[in-house]
Amino acid sequence: MKPEVFLMPAIEQAIDQLFPGVSVPIEFQSTRKDFEGDITLVIFPMLRAIKTNPEALGRQLGEFLTQQLPQVSGFNVVKGFLNISFSDAFFIESLKQMHGQPDYGRAESSGRALLVEYSSPNTNKPLHLGHIRNNLLGYSVSEILKAAGHKVYKTQIINDRGIHICKSMWAWREFGQGQTPEQLGIKGDKLVGNYYVKFDQVYKEQQRELIAQGLSKEEAEAQAPALLAAKAMLRSWEAGDDEVVALWKRMNQWVYDGFEATYDKLGVDFDQNYYESETYLLGKQDIENGLNQGVFYRKEDGSVWCDLTDEGLDHKIVLRSDGTSVYMTQDIGTAAQRMADYPDADGMIYTVGNEQDYHFKVLFLILSRLGYSWAKNLYHLSYGMVDLPSGKMKSREGTVVDADDLIEQMVQTAQAITQELGKIDDLSQDQRASLFNTIGLGALKYYILKVDPKKRILFNPEESVDFQGNTGPFIQYAYARIQSILRKSGNTGPVEDGTIQWQGLNLEQRERALLKTLMQFPDKVTEAAAAYSPAIIANYTYDLVKEFNTFYQNVSILGAKEAGLMDFRLALAELTGRVIKSSCTLLGIEVPDQM
């Protein structure tokens, strides 16, 4: 029972009776902690239509509500704010309603479908810490949108062609001596990534030799034999050379297998994979259509451009003079292809780092000018980079933080801290391994997702596994504590609603505060979906856990003496656990029954 929804009809009735024919905005906000009340009606916006003293209007409305609604137990007016208090009966009824909804917090179907793109890696290296943020954001936003009532299709485009792929291929052919992931006992994406680094080492050494022979830096970069060989390999691939294509397929499959293993560890998945090797020719027909419509213009050299200066941008090339595509061409065609593949979708969210802000601004404008109605529903989920205390990562130099290595480090850190706390003696070895994995990944995911996507992150693995403060393990521990309480109570299933036993209970302030926080959950899901921000769910969950811990420390659950009170508190604890679990599920985080 949302307080705003409950109060709205009575306030509208009060305005109609007290000020006939007047229409005013009705705005609520949370009551400040230093004031008494459960919800606050903001009076100031009403004064545009009702010419009176704000305190007087607040008192008139407060008196009307207390007379008409037995659930309103009192009110006070502070300047232009009417602080409204509810009776215990209101909160008891609210718990019954929330507790009786198995999917509390999830909205009914909106009938809307959306595509969400995330991950989209290159097949020349394994996934790294930056990819982890991308994957966690995209997956969590997808789950939040589902909870808000939308149908979601999760997609990625795998960048499996281009000069960077050929660099790894050339280096493996030159120096690999036929090595395979199976022979070396390593994941295929790591093996391919090693040869991407090897290429860069050879390339730089060749540049130094050419510079020593008298070439300029720019000349050496362009004429280094390794780069020329990689470019030749790319031309052979585009020409369909059997040997090069076979090598490309073999090495890419190594990477695909490696990616799948990492995705499985992270707990993310996709409904549809797109491959750049299959989409890089898409978009040319859109360019031709756009030329006929006047969306684009052709320069004397044959290249095709879009003039976006009226939007405060510049001229953007969409087709080279030799007729080959640029990335913008591909993205135009891929967007159109996706929307054709999913005709019930009317929009798409691209999860891509903020270094591509300009690119997506241009892409969305061009798609709109091409007449695609769904272009207005495209959104770039732009996120900041992830840094480490040691500085920025560089793939070519091999200084990235490998995703698999980081996950393993998180699990090991969780194991060390959990064993130090010494509360898992009764768990089997398999149960312990599962728990360490749950805690380690929960710590990693929460630490990244609690930050607003637009902000840059300085990631500290040790700090993220702290069992105190705004961390994943802190939240997981609260859930495990609730399950322990329920086990001790003898309840093996859902706590039954005490329809009769709860009547007339006198609630503690901490019970009311916890209930008010629980009531916010559906709105937080809606808010997070609208903002494409898992941080809203993460920080709400932290606030909920803090509220529960205060309740737990100040109110006895299993020691309650009054008839029906223990059942009420157990139901309250159980609902809190359910909301914690639901919130964590939206973040891709598992919660353990015991820690």
pLDDT per residue as tens, the chain (595 positions): 789 999 999 999 999 999 999 999 999 999 998 899 999 999 999 999 999 999 999 999 999 999 999 999 999 999 999 999 999 999 999 999 999 999 999 999 999 999 999 999 999 999 999 999 999 999 999 999 999 999 999 999 999 999 999 999 999 999 999 999 999 999 999 999 999 999 999 999 999 999 999 999 999 999 999 999 999 999 999 999 999 999 999 999 999 999 999 999 999 999 999 999 999 889 999 999 999 999 999 999 999 999 999 999 999 999 999 988 899 999 999 999 999 999 999 999 999 999 999 999 999 999 999 999 999 999 999 999 888 766 544 444 445 688 999 999 899 989 988 888 777 788 899 999 999 999 999 999 999 999 999 999 988 777 888 778 899 999 999 999 999 999 999 865 555 555 557 888 999 999 999 999 999 999 999 999 999 999 999 999 999 999 999 999 999 999 988 878 999 999 999 999 999 999 999 999 999 998 8
**Are 175 and 75 members of one domain?**
no
Which of 86, 108, 143 terminates a domain? The answer is: 86
Please indicate, yes or no, if residue 107 is contained in any of the structural domains.
no
Which of 63, 86, 109 terminates a domain? The answer is: 86
Q: Which amino acid is at 392?
A: K
- The model's pTM is 0.92
Count Cβ neighbours within 10 Å for each residue of 101-119 and write b for 16 or more, e otherwise.
eeebbbeeeeebbbbbbbb
Give the CATH number for residue 557: 1.10.730.10
Please indicate, yes or no, if residue 364 is contained in any of the structural domains.
no
Instruction: Identify any residues that bridge with 29 across adjacent strands, giving them in sequence order.
Output: 40
**Are 82 and 166 members of one domain?**
no
**Are 189 and 45 members of one domain?**
no
- DSSP H stretches of helix in 353-471: 357-369, 403-421, 429-449, 461-464
Provide the 10 A C-beta neighbour count for residue 437.
19
**Are 451 and 561 members of one domain?**
yes
Please indicate, yes or no, if residue 104 is contained in any of the structural domains.
no
Rounded distance between C-alpha atoms, residue 518 and residue 507, angstroms = 16
Number of domains within the chain? 3
Rounded distance between C-alpha atoms, residue 221 and residue 227, angstroms = 8
Contact (Cβ atoms closer than 8 angstroms) between residue 388 and residue 402: no
Rounded distance between C-alpha atoms, residue 208 and residue 217, angstroms = 9
Rounded distance between C-alpha atoms, residue 254 and residue 159, angstroms = 14
**Are 79 and 180 members of one domain?**
no
**H or E segment to which residue 157 belongs:** strand 151-158
**Are 582 and 468 members of one domain?**
yes
Please indicate, yes or no, if residue 567 is contained in any of the structural domains.
yes
| Crossing angle (nearest 10°) for helices 163-175 and 188-212 | 90
Rounded distance between C-alpha atoms, residue 194 and residue 125, angstroms = 8
Please indicate, yes or no, if residue 525 is contained in any of the structural domains.
yes
Which of 253, 286, 313 terminates a domain? The answer is: 253
**Are 80 and 167 members of one domain?**
no
Please indicate, yes or no, if residue 282 is contained in any of the structural domains.
no
Count Cβ neighbours within 10 Å for each residue of 479-493 and write b for 16 or more, e otherwise.
bbbbbebbeebebee
Please indicate, yes or no, if residue 317 is contained in any of the structural domains.
no
Instruction: Identify any residues that bridge with 122 across adjacent strands, giving them in sequence order.
Output: 159
Please indicate, yes or no, if residue 66 is contained in any of the structural domains.
yes
**Are 553 and 416 members of one domain?**
yes
DSSP symbols for 172-239 = HHHH-TT--HHHHTS-HHHHHHHHHHHHHHHHHHHHHHHHHTT--HHHHHHH-HHHHHHHHHHHHHHT
Expressed as residue numbers, the domain containing 553 is: 404-586
